[in-house]
Structure 1
Amino acid sequence: MKSKTRATVVCVRGDRVLLVSRDGSRWALPGGRPSKEETFADAAGRELEEETALTAKGLVFLFQVIGTTTVHQVFGANISKTAAPRPNKEIAYCQWFSLLEIAEIVVSPTTRQIVESIFQLHRC
Protein backbone atom coordinates (compact mmCIF):
# COMPACT_ATOMS: atom_id res chain seq x y z
CA MET A 1 0.00 0.00 0.00
CA LYS A 2 1.33 3.43 -0.93
CA SER A 3 1.72 5.85 1.98
CA LYS A 4 0.15 9.29 1.89
CA THR A 5 2.50 12.21 2.42
CA ARG A 6 1.27 15.08 4.56
CA ALA A 7 2.51 18.49 5.64
CA THR A 8 2.10 18.55 9.43
CA VAL A 9 2.32 21.80 11.41
CA VAL A 10 3.48 22.27 14.99
CA CYS A 11 2.62 25.47 16.87
CA VAL A 12 4.15 25.71 20.35
CA ARG A 13 3.38 28.31 22.99
CA GLY A 14 5.41 27.80 26.14
CA ASP A 15 4.75 24.22 27.23
CA ARG A 16 1.65 23.81 25.06
CA VAL A 17 1.05 22.62 21.50
CA LEU A 18 -1.94 23.38 19.27
CA LEU A 19 -4.12 20.44 18.24
CA VAL A 20 -7.25 20.32 16.09
CA SER A 21 -10.25 18.01 15.98
CA ARG A 22 -13.15 17.43 13.63
CA ASP A 23 -15.38 15.96 16.34
CA GLY A 24 -13.79 16.68 19.74
CA SER A 25 -12.98 13.02 20.37
CA ARG A 26 -9.76 12.49 18.34
CA TRP A 27 -7.10 15.21 18.18
CA ALA A 28 -4.30 15.81 15.67
CA LEU A 29 -1.74 18.36 14.58
CA PRO A 30 -2.95 20.73 11.85
CA GLY A 31 -1.97 19.80 8.31
CA GLY A 32 -2.87 17.97 5.17
CA ARG A 33 -1.76 16.86 1.75
CA PRO A 34 -0.31 19.33 -0.73
CA SER A 35 -2.00 19.96 -4.05
CA LYS A 36 -0.04 19.08 -7.20
CA GLU A 37 1.38 22.62 -7.51
CA GLU A 38 2.27 23.10 -3.83
CA THR A 39 5.45 22.50 -1.89
CA PHE A 40 5.11 20.89 1.54
CA ALA A 41 5.91 24.25 3.16
CA ASP A 42 3.16 25.95 1.13
CA ALA A 43 0.70 23.21 2.10
CA ALA A 44 1.68 23.54 5.78
CA GLY A 45 0.93 27.28 5.75
CA ARG A 46 -2.32 26.86 3.84
CA GLU A 47 -3.58 24.02 6.04
CA LEU A 48 -2.72 25.92 9.24
CA GLU A 49 -4.72 28.90 8.01
CA GLU A 50 -7.61 26.78 6.70
CA GLU A 51 -7.94 24.75 9.91
CA THR A 52 -7.16 27.34 12.62
CA ALA A 53 -7.38 30.79 10.93
CA LEU A 54 -3.75 31.36 12.05
CA THR A 55 -1.22 32.81 9.63
CA ALA A 56 2.35 31.61 10.06
CA LYS A 57 4.92 34.43 10.04
CA GLY A 58 7.43 31.76 9.08
CA LEU A 59 7.68 27.99 8.69
CA VAL A 60 10.75 25.85 9.21
CA PHE A 61 11.12 22.20 8.23
CA LEU A 62 11.88 20.20 11.39
CA PHE A 63 11.94 16.50 10.46
CA GLN A 64 10.12 13.66 8.73
CA VAL A 65 8.16 10.97 10.56
CA ILE A 66 6.99 7.77 8.91
CA GLY A 67 3.72 6.66 10.47
CA THR A 68 1.64 3.56 9.81
CA THR A 69 -0.16 4.98 6.77
CA THR A 70 1.25 8.49 6.39
CA VAL A 71 4.65 10.13 5.95
CA HIS A 72 4.65 13.41 7.85
CA GLN A 73 6.80 16.34 6.68
CA VAL A 74 6.81 18.25 9.98
CA PHE A 75 7.09 22.05 10.05
CA GLY A 76 7.35 24.43 12.98
CA ALA A 77 5.20 27.53 12.59
CA ASN A 78 6.10 30.95 13.92
CA ILE A 79 2.84 32.62 14.92
CA SER A 80 2.07 35.81 16.80
CA LYS A 81 2.13 35.43 20.60
CA THR A 82 -1.35 36.98 20.73
CA ALA A 83 -2.92 35.16 17.77
CA ALA A 84 -6.00 33.21 18.81
CA PRO A 85 -6.74 30.04 16.85
CA ARG A 86 -10.33 29.39 15.89
CA PRO A 87 -11.76 26.31 14.19
CA ASN A 88 -12.28 26.74 10.48
CA LYS A 89 -13.37 24.65 7.46
CA GLU A 90 -13.64 20.95 8.43
CA ILE A 91 -12.26 21.55 11.95
CA ALA A 92 -14.73 21.89 14.82
CA TYR A 93 -12.24 22.42 17.67
CA CYS A 94 -8.72 23.75 18.15
CA GLN A 95 -7.07 23.92 21.54
CA TRP A 96 -3.67 24.28 23.24
CA PHE A 97 -2.57 21.17 25.19
CA SER A 98 0.35 20.43 27.49
CA LEU A 99 2.29 17.18 27.11
CA LEU A 100 0.55 15.85 30.24
CA GLU A 101 -2.88 16.71 28.82
CA ILE A 102 -2.00 15.03 25.51
CA ALA A 103 -1.36 11.83 27.46
CA GLU A 104 -5.04 11.93 28.52
CA ILE A 105 -6.70 12.52 25.13
CA VAL A 106 -7.11 10.41 21.99
CA VAL A 107 -4.34 11.08 19.47
CA SER A 108 -2.62 8.82 16.96
CA PRO A 109 0.69 7.24 17.96
CA THR A 110 2.35 9.37 15.27
CA THR A 111 0.91 12.61 16.67
CA ARG A 112 2.14 11.61 20.13
CA GLN A 113 5.61 10.81 18.71
CA ILE A 114 5.84 14.16 16.89
CA VAL A 115 4.73 16.16 19.96
CA GLU A 116 7.15 14.31 22.26
CA SER A 117 9.98 14.93 19.77
CA ILE A 118 9.16 18.65 19.68
CA PHE A 119 9.30 18.96 23.45
CA GLN A 120 12.60 17.06 23.53
CA LEU A 121 13.99 19.53 20.97
CA HIS A 122 12.80 22.48 23.11
CA ARG A 123 14.63 21.10 26.16
CA CYS A 124 17.99 21.03 24.33
Structure 2
Amino acid sequence: MSVIKHRPTKAKVTIICSRNGQVLLVRRKGAKWKFPSGLLATGEAPIVAAAREVWKALALRCSGLNGVGTIEVGNVLHHIFTTDFADGCSVSLGTGIVACKWIGWEDLSSTMLKPTAAALLSRDLSALIHGDQPAASQLASNTN
Protein backbone atom coordinates (compact mmCIF):
# COMPACT_ATOMS: atom_id res chain seq x y z
CA MET A 1 0.00 0.00 0.00
CA SER A 2 1.38 3.41 -0.91
CA VAL A 3 0.96 6.53 1.16
CA ILE A 4 0.25 9.77 -0.62
CA LYS A 5 1.85 12.73 1.07
CA HIS A 6 -0.03 16.02 0.96
CA ARG A 7 1.67 18.66 -1.16
CA PRO A 8 0.70 22.29 -1.50
CA THR A 9 -0.93 23.07 -4.82
CA LYS A 10 0.09 26.74 -4.87
CA ALA A 11 3.09 28.75 -3.76
CA LYS A 12 2.80 32.39 -2.69
CA VAL A 13 5.00 35.08 -1.29
CA THR A 14 3.74 37.06 1.68
CA ILE A 15 5.55 40.24 2.62
CA ILE A 16 5.36 41.69 6.12
CA CYS A 17 6.16 45.39 5.60
CA SER A 18 6.94 47.33 8.75
CA ARG A 19 7.53 50.97 9.64
CA ASN A 20 7.97 52.32 13.18
CA GLY A 21 6.29 49.40 14.93
CA GLN A 22 3.44 49.24 12.44
CA VAL A 23 2.63 46.69 9.76
CA LEU A 24 1.18 47.40 6.32
CA LEU A 25 -2.14 45.87 5.29
CA VAL A 26 -3.74 46.00 1.85
CA ARG A 27 -7.29 45.38 0.69
CA ARG A 28 -8.87 44.46 -2.63
CA LYS A 29 -12.41 45.57 -3.51
CA GLY A 30 -14.98 43.82 -1.33
CA ALA A 31 -12.35 41.87 0.61
CA LYS A 32 -10.90 41.97 4.10
CA TRP A 33 -7.41 43.24 4.92
CA LYS A 34 -4.35 41.11 4.22
CA PHE A 35 -0.58 41.33 4.04
CA PRO A 36 0.86 42.14 0.59
CA SER A 37 1.19 38.84 -1.25
CA GLY A 38 1.07 37.15 -4.62
CA LEU A 39 1.45 33.85 -6.42
CA LEU A 40 4.83 32.66 -7.62
CA ALA A 41 5.11 32.33 -11.38
CA THR A 42 6.39 29.02 -12.72
CA GLY A 43 10.14 28.83 -12.14
CA GLU A 44 10.25 32.20 -10.36
CA ALA A 45 12.46 32.58 -7.29
CA PRO A 46 10.48 33.58 -4.17
CA ILE A 47 12.65 36.68 -3.54
CA VAL A 48 12.00 37.89 -7.10
CA ALA A 49 8.26 37.34 -6.65
CA ALA A 50 8.32 39.23 -3.35
CA ALA A 51 10.03 42.26 -4.91
CA ARG A 52 7.61 42.11 -7.86
CA GLU A 53 4.58 42.01 -5.58
CA VAL A 54 5.72 44.95 -3.44
CA TRP A 55 6.23 46.96 -6.62
CA LYS A 56 2.99 45.79 -8.30
CA ALA A 57 0.73 46.22 -5.27
CA LEU A 58 2.28 49.30 -3.67
CA ALA A 59 4.52 50.94 -6.26
CA LEU A 60 7.43 50.58 -3.84
CA ARG A 61 10.89 49.34 -4.64
CA CYS A 62 12.50 47.56 -1.75
CA SER A 63 16.09 46.52 -1.45
CA GLY A 64 15.96 44.81 1.92
CA LEU A 65 13.73 41.75 1.66
CA ASN A 66 14.55 39.18 4.33
CA GLY A 67 13.36 35.62 3.83
CA VAL A 68 12.29 34.18 7.18
CA GLY A 69 10.78 30.83 6.23
CA THR A 70 7.75 29.09 4.84
CA ILE A 71 4.36 28.25 6.28
CA GLU A 72 1.78 25.93 4.80
CA VAL A 73 -1.81 27.15 5.17
CA GLY A 74 -4.35 24.84 3.59
CA ASN A 75 -3.01 23.90 0.18
CA VAL A 76 -0.82 27.02 -0.16
CA LEU A 77 2.86 27.27 0.73
CA HIS A 78 3.66 30.84 1.84
CA HIS A 79 7.24 32.05 1.48
CA ILE A 80 7.39 34.74 4.18
CA PHE A 81 9.52 37.87 3.76
CA THR A 82 9.94 40.94 5.91
CA THR A 83 11.04 44.41 4.89
CA ASP A 84 11.30 47.75 6.67
CA PHE A 85 10.34 51.12 5.26
CA ALA A 86 11.52 54.52 6.44
CA ASP A 87 9.30 57.19 7.96
CA GLY A 88 7.60 59.28 5.32
CA CYS A 89 7.67 56.47 2.78
CA SER A 90 4.66 57.03 0.54
CA VAL A 91 2.65 54.09 -0.69
CA SER A 92 0.78 54.23 -3.99
CA LEU A 93 -2.02 51.78 -4.62
CA GLY A 94 -1.10 49.36 -7.35
CA THR A 95 -2.87 46.72 -9.40
CA GLY A 96 -6.08 45.52 -7.75
CA ILE A 97 -5.46 47.24 -4.40
CA VAL A 98 -8.20 49.68 -3.32
CA ALA A 99 -6.83 50.61 0.12
CA CYS A 100 -3.83 50.22 2.35
CA LYS A 101 -3.06 51.21 5.92
CA TRP A 102 -0.35 51.04 8.52
CA ILE A 103 -1.55 49.53 11.80
CA GLY A 104 0.15 48.74 15.08
CA TRP A 105 0.99 45.07 15.39
CA GLU A 106 -0.86 44.97 18.72
CA ASP A 107 -4.01 46.37 17.04
CA LEU A 108 -4.26 43.55 14.50
CA SER A 109 -7.09 41.11 15.03
CA SER A 110 -7.96 37.98 13.11
CA THR A 111 -11.54 39.24 12.57
CA MET A 112 -10.33 42.16 10.44
CA LEU A 113 -8.17 39.93 8.22
CA LYS A 114 -8.81 37.51 5.38
CA PRO A 115 -8.79 33.91 6.69
CA THR A 116 -5.35 33.17 5.24
CA ALA A 117 -3.85 36.31 6.79
CA ALA A 118 -5.53 35.43 10.09
CA ALA A 119 -3.98 31.94 9.90
CA LEU A 120 -0.57 33.51 9.36
CA LEU A 121 -1.20 35.88 12.26
CA SER A 122 -1.96 32.91 14.50
CA ARG A 123 1.62 31.71 13.87
CA ASP A 124 2.88 34.72 15.88
CA LEU A 125 4.31 36.69 12.99
CA SER A 126 4.68 39.71 15.30
CA ALA A 127 7.91 38.16 16.55
CA LEU A 128 9.30 38.58 13.03
CA ILE A 129 8.53 42.27 13.00
CA HIS A 130 10.44 42.73 16.23
CA GLY A 131 13.35 40.55 15.10
CA ASP A 132 12.84 37.76 17.64
CA GLN A 133 15.27 35.14 16.37
CA PRO A 134 13.79 32.10 18.19
CA ALA A 135 10.37 32.79 16.68
CA ALA A 136 11.86 33.27 13.24
CA SER A 137 13.71 29.97 13.43
CA GLN A 138 10.54 28.28 14.74
CA LEU A 139 8.64 29.70 11.77
CA ALA A 140 11.26 28.38 9.35
CA SER A 141 10.89 24.90 10.79
CA ASN A 142 7.09 25.09 10.87
CA THR A 143 6.45 23.58 7.44
CA ASN A 144 4.20 20.55 7.00
TM-score, scaled to structure 1: 0.84
Q: CA RMSD in A?
A: 2.1
Structure 1 alignment gaps of length 5 or more: none
Q: Distance in 1 between matches of 2:87 and 2:81?
A: 18
Summarize deviations over 1:22-75 as a string: whole Å, max 9, x none. Answer: 026401111211222421000000001100111112211011111123110001
Secondary structure of the residue aligned to 2:94 is coil
Q: Residue 120 in 1 paired to residue 136 in 2?
A: no
The one-letter code sitting in structure 1 at the alignment partner of 2:114 is V
Q: Say whether the 8 Å CA contact 2:20–2:87 is kept in structure 1.
A: no
Secondary structure of the residue aligned to 2:65 is strand
The one-letter code sitting in structure 2 at the alignment partner of 1:94 is C
Specify which of 64, 73, 81 is matched with residue 58 of structure 1.
64
Alignment of 1:39-78 (within 5 A): 39-78=45-84
Aligned to 2:27: 21
Aligned to 2:120: 111
The one-letter code sitting in structure 2 at the alignment partner of 1:97 is I
Specify which of 14, 23, 32 is matched with residue 8 of structure 1.
14
Aligned to 1:36: 42
Q: Say whether the 8 Å CA contact 1:11–1:77 is kept in structure 2.
A: yes
| Residue 76 of structure 1, CA deviation | 1.1
Q: 1:24 to 1:77 in 2, by over 3 A?
A: farther
Q: Residue 83 in 1 paired to residue 64 in 2?
A: no
- Please tell me whether Structure 1 or Structure 2 has the larger radius of gyration of its CA atoms: 2
| Residue 107 of structure 1, CA deviation | 3.0
TM-score, scaled to structure 2: 0.73
Secondary structure of the residue aligned to 1:28 is coil
Aligned length: 122
Structure 2 alignment gaps of length 5 or more: 1-6, 133-144
Q: Percent identity?
A: 24
